[in-house]
Amino acid sequence: MSHTKSSNVIKQVTLTSLEKEVIIGCLLGDGSLDCAGKEYRLRVEHKADHKEYVLWKYAFLKRLCLTAPQYVSTHDSYRFGTVGHAEITRLRKSFYVNGIKIIPDDLSITPLMLAILFMDDGCKIHSTASLALHAYSLKEINHILVELNKYNVRGSVQKDGHGEAKRLYIKTASYETFKKLVESYVKDVSCMTCKLV
């Protein structure tokens, strides 16, 4: 089957709840939605050292892709993209305003989404963890805090010298609860396990 025919077949499938979770998790982190004809597609790219992580994401989304992850020599990275899809285009309308990625006010964050965000933008720090959220407004970061609170995880927002929100810290007393939420996913990706304290 030609790529065009294969793409048209993929465009007709309904995304599963798991596929949507992974796509949204990617959007919360480093993923982006790019125009692909009339629709939008997800693009995932990480440095070559994190090839295993790219393959882990791809395993969830390969039904929506025409090709497996490819090495990009100019970036020393691996990347893949889904086909353009109407359901991904609807996500684009929710997650982008004037071309800038945002966190929708009504987004419910699942443990899988949180694990992807943590693997994309998190790190261990002292006896807890933090998330670098430089692209998001304080309002959007506070939304993540509210979602974390639903899982009994407490956090705080630290600002840079200019007074802009930059990083969300998990409170030390909540770290074990946070860890239990994400570790089953993080442990599936050996290059990411170093992020857990």
Q: Which of 32, 185, 34, 48 is nearest to 122 (CA)?
A: 185
Task: Give me the domains of the chain, ranges plus CATH numbers.
Answer: 3-98 (3.10.28), 111-187 (3.10.28.10)
pLDDT, tens digit, for every residue of 31-52? 999 998 899 999 999 999 999 9
pLDDT, tens digit, for every residue of 104-148? 999 999 999 999 999 999 999 989 999 999 889 989 999 999 999
Question: What is the Cα–Cα distance from 29 to 121, expressed in whole angstroms?
Answer: 6
8 A C-beta contact, residue 156 and residue 171: yes
8 A C-beta contact, residue 3 and residue 66: yes
Q: Which of 132, 182, 123 is nearest to 157 (CA)?
A: 132
